[in-house]
Structure 1
Amino acid sequence: MAAEGEQMMGQSGGTQDRLFYSFNLDDHIPQGHLLRGIDRYFDLGDLRQQLAPFYSHTGRPSIDPELMIRMLVIGYCFGTRSERQLCEEVHLNLAYRWFCRLDLEDPVPDHSTFSKNRHGRFRQSDAFRLVFESVLRRCMHEGLVRGEGFAVDASVIKADANRARGVPGAEARKWRDDGTSTRAVREYIEALQLENPAGDDEQPPSSPPKKVSLTDPAAQWTAASGGPAFFAYSTNYLIDLEAGVIVDVEATPALRPREVEATKTMVDRVERRFGLKPGRLVGDMAYGIAPMLSWMVKDKGIKPHVPVWDKTGRKDGTLSSSEFQWIAQSNEYRCPEGHALRCDRRTFTVERDRVTRADTVIYRASHHDCAQCSRKQQCCPNTPMRKIARSVHEDARDVARQLADTPEYRQSRRERKKVEMLFAHLKRILKLDRLRLRGLTGARDEFLLAATVQNLRRMAKRLSSPELVPA
C-alpha cells in the first residue's frame, strides 16, 4: 500500500539532477523595483579607468571597483550598514545580484576582502567623490538642477565612539604617533601637526576641546538639546531648490563655526567644477553671522536669504541700537533725541583704523549730550555715555535685513524645508543615524555615499514610471 501511495503522489522532476537550465535574472526583477529606476540613471563606465593607478599588478586579484560601488549603493539605499550582512544579502537577493551584474554562478566577494578594498585602495583614490559628481552630472543632464537657488544646512550624526571613553582635550594634544596608532588617531595627530607645526604645547593655536575620544579623536564632543553629550560629526548639505538635489556634501566635526565655513568650501567647489553659482542662498540663523553675510554679498554676489544673527537687542527696556539712525554720509549714528554718536571722538597720536579685535568700530555719544538728556535712564543708565559697536560687515547685514521683507525671501523660507526633509530621510530611511567608519575621512566617505544614494533615489522616483516600488 505504501508503494502504491507513493506512486499516486508522484514526483515532478525525478531524482536525477538537471544537466541544463535556463534562468534569466532580468525576467525575475519587477519592472517597478527601485533598483531598476536607479540602474537606469547610474553609469560607472569611466570609474575603472580613473582608478587604474590604484590597482596592484601582483598578488590576489582586486575587486572590480564597479562591483564594489554597486554593492555599497545597495547597502546605503536599503539601510544595510554591516558589510558582512551586505555580502550575504547580495548573495541571496536576486534583485541585488541583477543590479551588481552578477549571474547566479558568480561569487560574491568575501566581506573581509570587500572591507580591505573599501578602506584601503579606494579611499586614497577619492572614488566616492568621483561617483557622487558623476551622479550629480546626470541630475543636471535630466534637468533636475536649475542653479538659481541653493539651500544649506547641517545635521549631527553620532560617531562610532563610546561616550565614556574620552580624555581631556589638553591631554590629547600631547599625543604622538608611535607606529601602533589606528588610522583615526593618526589622522588626528597629523591634523594637530598641521595646525601647530612648531610643536608649541604651551601656546596651542586654538583652545583644546573639552573631551576627546580615544577611538575617534576627530569627532566633536557635543550635546543635543535636552539630551546627553556624545561624540559626533556633521554632514553639511548644499542642495538645489528646484528638485532638492544635493549638489555638494562636506563632513566636519559637529561644531557650528566649522559647519558655516564648510558652506564656503561647497559653494566654491560647485562653482569651480560645475559652473553653478546660485543667485540666492537659503539658510538658518547660524549662517547669518556678519562675516558670512559679507562673503555672500561682497565676495560672491549672492543674495543672502538668511536671518541676521543679531544680539544687539536689549531685553531690559532700554533703547536698542536698532532705534538709532545710521547716517552713512557723515559716518555717524543719531539717537532718538537727535544727538550724534561718532567714532572719532578720541584722538590718537598714531592714526588707527579704529577696528577692534571683534571686527567692530565703536561709536560714542558726547558725555555732555548724555548728561543733559532727559532719556538717559532709558538709554544708558549705567554708563556716562551711550556707545554702539558697529560691525565692519554691517552693510552686508543691512542687505540681508532688506531682503527679509520681500516675497522671494518668504518663499525661500518655505523651500528650506527640502534640506530638512533630506536629513530626516537620511536618518529614518537610510538609517544613517550613527557612523560605522571612524575619522574625518570615514565620515566623509559615508556622507558622500549616502548623498549619492539620495540623488539616485530622487532621479529614479521623479523620472521613472509612477508605479515604481518604494523601498
Structure 2
Amino acid sequence: MLNKQQAEGRYQISVVSLDELVPQDHLVRKIENAIDFSFIYDLVKDRYSLDNGRPSIDPVVLIKMVLIQYLFGIRSMRQTIKEIETNIAYRWFLGYDFTQPIPHFTTFGKNYVRRFQGTDLFEKIFTRILEEACHHGFVDSSVLYIDSTHVKASANKNKYIKQLVQEERKKYQELLEEELNQDRVEHGKKPLPKKTETAWKEVKQSSTDPDSGWFVKNEKEQTFAYSFHAASDQHGFVVSAVVTAANVHDSQAFSDVFEQAVERVGKPDAVAVDAGYKTPYISKCLLDEGIRPVMPYTRPHTKEGLFRKHEYVYDEYFDCYICPAGQVLTYETTTRDGYRMYRSDPGECNHCPFRPQCTESREAVKRVSRHIWADYLDEVEHLRHTEVNKRLYARRKETIERVFADLKEKHGLRWTTLRGLKKVTMQAMLVFACMNLKKLANWLWKLGKGGHNALHFRFTFEYIQDKLPLLPMATREFVCNLKP
C-alpha cells in the first residue's frame, strides 16, 4: 500500500555518539587508522607561543581542514567549512562534536600568513606521508615516471604587460662550455670566450598573478598557468613535485624533480619520460648514473620533401657525415650551444641530382649538426626498440598520467584558487600528499591492517585458536602460521 514518510524524525531526540554514525568503511576512518597526525605538533611547535596569548586552533585541525578540502575536491575553504558544519564524518575526522562551532573559513589563511608562510611545513607533511607508504612496502621506486601538467592560474588572460626579462641560464651551462671548448681544441679551434652580454627576451607577464607564465601549446587555449612537475613510482605514489611558471620548459625542471625523488626513495633502475625530456643532457645524466632512460620516438622536424637527418650517415672513425649521394660532409666548427657543424663541398652539390631534396641553400651548401653528447641520444634510441622500454613506457598512462588526471578530476585542481608561486606550491604539495594518503589508507584497509577489517580478523583468529584442539591436524598447522 502507499506509504507516506512523516517528518517527526526531524525533531526526534536521540542519545547517540558521533562515532556510531560514521560508517566503518568511510575514507576518513581509513585515513585516521593509516597515520598518526600528531607528528604535526613537532613540525609547528616553534611557530606557537607556549606561555602566553590566547589559545589557538589546534594545528592538526587546521591541516585536517585543508586535507578534507583536497581529499574530496571541494573548490574553496569557504565551501569546505560549510560542508564540515553539516557532514558528520568530517566533524568526526576533526574531533568536533555535534554542536561545537567550526573555525571560520579565513582561519587557515591567517595562520598561513602569520605562521606557515616561508616554511617547509607542507613539504614535510608530504614527505611524512610518503615515508609511511614506504614503511609498509607500497612504494616501488625501481622505475620512476616523470612528467608535467599545466594548471590554469587564477588570472585574467587579458590583463598583462609585456616585459623584457633575462633569459634563464641552463643549469648545465658550465659543464657544456667546458666540454665544447675541449672539443674545439681537439679539432684545432680556439676556445670560445665566456659570454659577457646578457640575453633578453620579451614575455607576457600577468598583472593579476605575476608569478604565472603564458602557456602556449599547439591549438590549445593560450592562458596564464603554472606547470606541476612530478615523479611517481610504479604504483602511482607521487615521490617528488616541483611547481614552476608554465613558460618554463620541462627539461629545465627535470633535475630538481629527479634529485628530490632520489633523495626520498633512492636511485631508480629506470626513468620513463615523454618527448619533452629527450635532450642530450638528460640522456647523459641518466646513462652516466647507470639508469636506464625510457624515452619515446620523436618525429623529425625536417621540411617536407627534404632528406631526413637519419639518411645522412655519421662515420665516427673519420668524424664526418656521408650524404645519400655519397659525398663527405667534413667538420666545420663547434657552436656555443654544443653542436658540431658538418659542411658539404658546394662544388659537388651544384651538380648533384639530389640537391632539391638535400638543401635549399643559395650557396649550394648542406650543413648537418651533431651535439657533442649525441652518443647518449644514440644509445637512448637503441634502447627504445627493446621490449623492456616498450613495456615500461606503456605504463605511463597507468602511473604519472593517471596521477595528473586524478589531480584535476577528483581533487579540484583544474585551476588554482591561490596566487603566487609559494602559495601554489603549498597547494600542490597538499594535494599530492592527499593523493598519497588516500592510496595508503585504502591499501592498508584492503590488506586488513586497520579499522574494522583488522578488528574482525583479530577476533576470528582468537576464536579459532580457542577451538584448535577440536580441529584436524592440517588445519591446526595452518592456523598456527597465521599472524593477526
Question: TM-score interval w.r.t. the shorter chain?
Answer: 0.7 to 0.9
- Following superposition, the deviation at residue 374 of structure 1 comes to 4.8
- For 1:82, the equivalent position in structure 2 comes to 76
The one of 136, 143, 146 aligned to 2:140: 146
The one of 423, 427, 433 aligned to 2:408: 427
- Following superposition, the deviation at residue 45 of structure 1 comes to 2.6
- For 2:383, the equivalent position in structure 1 comes to 403
Letter in 2 for 1:288: K
The TM-score with structure 1 as length reference comes to 0.79
SS in 2 for 1:343: strand
The TM-score with structure 2 as length reference comes to 0.77
Q: 1:51–1:125: 8 Å Cα contact kept in structure 2? A: no
Distance 1:456 1:276 in 2: 20
Distance 2:26 2:221 in 1: 41
Letter in 2 for 1:456: L
The one of 148, 156, 165 aligned to 1:162: 156
Letter in 1 for 2:341: I
Alignment of 1:57-68 (within 5 A): 57=50, 58-68=52-62
Distance 1:312 1:63 in 2: 58
| Structure 2 alignment gaps of length 5 or more | 1-7, 169-196, 452-484
- For 2:324, the equivalent position in structure 1 comes to 336
Q: 1:77–1:453: 8 Å Cα contact kept in structure 2? A: yes
Letter in 1 for 2:268: P
- Following superposition, the deviation at residue 33 of structure 1 comes to 0.8
Q: 1:307–1:400: 8 Å Cα contact kept in structure 2? A: no
Change (3 A) 1:388 1:224: closer
Distance 2:217 2:98 in 1: 47
2:315 is aligned with 1:327: yes
Change (3 A) 1:262 1:63: farther
Letter in 2 for 1:264: S
Q: Which runs of 4+ in 1 moved over 6 A?
A: none
Distance 1:380 1:111 in 2: 65
Deviations 1:199-249 (A, max 9, x none): xxxx8654231x2222210111224544542211111121112x1111111
Letter in 2 for 1:327: D
Letter in 1 for 2:24: Q
Change (3 A) 1:119 1:92: farther
SS in 1 for 2:73: coil
2:58 is aligned with 1:51: no
Change (3 A) 1:256 1:303: farther
2:305 is aligned with 1:359: no
Distance 1:224 1:363 in 2: 32
- Following superposition, the deviation at residue 263 of structure 1 comes to 2.0
Letter in 2 for 1:127: L
- For 1:244, the equivalent position in structure 2 comes to 236
Distance 2:437 2:219 in 1: 35
The one of 270, 273, 285 aligned to 2:261: 270
Change (3 A) 1:229 1:371: closer
2:247 is aligned with 1:255: yes
Letter in 2 for 1:240: D
How many residues get paired?
411
Change (3 A) 1:143 1:466: closer
Q: CA RMSD in A?
A: 3.0
Change (3 A) 1:228 1:368: closer
SS in 2 for 1:390: strand
- For 1:303, the equivalent position in structure 2 comes to 292
Q: 1:83–1:111: 8 Å Cα contact kept in structure 2? A: yes
Change (3 A) 1:451 1:440: same
- For 2:476, the equivalent position in structure 1 comes to none
Change (3 A) 1:434 1:120: farther
The one of 100, 103, 106 aligned to 2:97: 103
Q: 1:32–1:465: 8 Å Cα contact kept in structure 2? A: no
Deviations 1:266-292 (A, max 9, x none): 1112222x2512221112111112332
- Following superposition, the deviation at residue 150 of structure 1 comes to 0.9
Distance 2:206 2:292 in 1: 40
2:28 is aligned with 1:35: yes
- Following superposition, the deviation at residue 367 of structure 1 comes to 4.1
Distance 1:393 1:312 in 2: 19
Identity across matched positions, percent: 28
Change (3 A) 1:337 1:84: closer
Distance 1:393 1:362 in 2: 14
Letter in 2 for 1:36: R
Q: 1:312–1:321: 8 Å Cα contact kept in structure 2? A: no
- For 1:186, the equivalent position in structure 2 comes to none
| Structure 1 alignment gaps of length 5 or more | 1-10, 175-190, 192-202, 345-353
2:421 is aligned with 1:440: yes
- Following superposition, the deviation at residue 334 of structure 1 comes to 2.5
Deviations 1:92-142 (A, max 9, x none): 221112112223354422222232013431123211101111111111122
Distance 1:312 1:227 in 2: 21
Distance 2:383 2:356 in 1: 34
- Following superposition, the deviation at residue 24 of structure 1 comes to 2.8
SS in 1 for 2:92: helix
- Following superposition, the deviation at residue 302 of structure 1 comes to 2.2
Deviations 1:15-57 (A, max 9, x none): 9xx9xx8643222111111112222223323221122122245
The one of 262, 277, 280 aligned to 1:287: 277
Letter in 2 for 1:405: H
Distance 1:213 1:312 in 2: 32
Q: 1:129–1:448: 8 Å Cα contact kept in structure 2? A: yes
Change (3 A) 1:361 1:428: same
Q: Which moved more, 1:87-96 or 1:99-108?
A: 99-108
